[in-house]
Amino acid sequence: LPLIMSGLSEAPIIGLYSHTGFQDAADGASHQATTYLAATSSIPHVQCVVVSCQAEAESLMSQAITYIAKGREEGKKPDSVLFFYGREKHPISFDEKATFNWGKAQILKKGKDVTFVTCGPLLPKALAASELLEKEGLSATVINNAFVNRPDIETIESCLRETKGRVITLEDHQLVGGMGAQLTHALSLQDIDFKIKCLATKGGFGQSAYLADHLYEFHGLDEKSLVTATKDFLKN
């Protein structure tokens, strides 16, 4: 309701939401937010940004403040910006030389067999899976798709052309209404030729665990599961 009212009032806000996905492992299902994107992405005038590391969070937060302030100064109606992140410790950066541009997807690795599109805490899993695949003679492009409900289709499409349209999404969110579902819809609306597999939570709640990694493995969202899914995907 506050997000809807801020949009109706043309009073954009910046919201920070922690404990996303399975990142509050110890407290169990009641504290694990696996529907946060489905619950917020369709609210008018709201951008949903899922961050994966400290450097990304700091850079995009600064840009969000500038984006809203500049928009108001120019008499525009900037959107609210919601930042989602996990509870467990985030890496400082995945690439010290990386830059984060507002509204753009980040290509962390280039490959020729498949494109991984992910965001948030599962980005390290996609990178680890790409390294495991290299040992078997396969290569994967890894894309950090932080702007979930406004995906950077231009960048993602350019990578899909190099991997024959094959894409796998990875997220610790429900399959319904998640990043993969939204990307599938966006690509389809642009008449882009692609073949997709979405790895996500397939209904149901989480459970208690010592670490989120235990739940990623249980739900088939870890790097080994991604490698297995990729090899099966490439056979078809």
Mean pLDDT per 10-residue interval, the chain, length 236 residues: 92 93 89 94 97 95 96 90 91 87 96 97 97 97 98 98 98 97 98 97 91 94 97 92
pLDDT at 75: 87
| CA-based nearest residue to 230, from 185, 182, 198, 183 | 198
pLDDT at 56: 96
What distance in Å separates the CA atoms of residue 83 and residue 150, rounded to the nearest whole number? 13
Torsion 39-217-135-196 (CA) sign: negative
pLDDT at 88: 86
